[in-house]
Amino acid sequence: MQKVFDIKENKQKFDELLAYIESQDKSQGVLMQTLHKAQELFGYLPIEVQKFVSEKTKIPMAEIYGVATFYTQFSLEPKGKHTVGVCMGTACYVKNAQLVLDKLAKELNVAVGATTEDGLFTLEATRCLGCCGLAPVIMVDDTVYGKVDPKDVPEIVANYKK
């Protein structure tokens, strides 16, 4: 089922975002901070939120969309309750991170970059997570798992289904 963004349901968040925008010093570049704030509030940057930012900051939609799609920290899709990041940096890649990623995609039945239908997991391929000695590394929310073997995947996933 396709999730629909409900503007009315999110009114309080829009009010909060507006208050944030109005508190900003407009002589400085405000777009990055505003999009960060919007993502913090809504969890992602749906088109309705981008339009709102454009309207309130007078920054063209094309510029907002360009920034929102260029930087990987911004997401245009709702994220799952848990984010599973598989490091695809060099050290992890040579230690078969791709097999771990494939196993996760199969176990969760989701494509890389997408969210499971139950909204529980978002699967992502990431850059180096800074703990290469533990390669291959995955990160679930704020927890790092090192030296992950594809056969460890079902147990790791099961912990987050409880």
Binding site for ligand FES (CB under 6 A): 87, 89-92, 128-132, 135, 137
Of all helices (H) and strands (E), which one includes residue 143? strand 143-145
Residue 85 CB, shortest distance to ligand FES, in Å, is: 10
| Sign, CA torsion 133/138/139/145 | negative
Residue 123 CB, shortest distance to ligand FES, in Å, is: 16
Nearer to ligand FES, 120 or 132 (CB): 132
Residue 103 CB, shortest distance to ligand FES, in Å, is: 17
Nearer to ligand FES, 110 or 135 (CB): 135
Nearer to ligand FES, 18 or 128 (CB): 128
Rounded CA gap, 141 and 58, in Å? 35
Residue 154, Cβ density class (10 Å: 0-12 exposed, 13-18 middle, ≥19 buried)? exposed
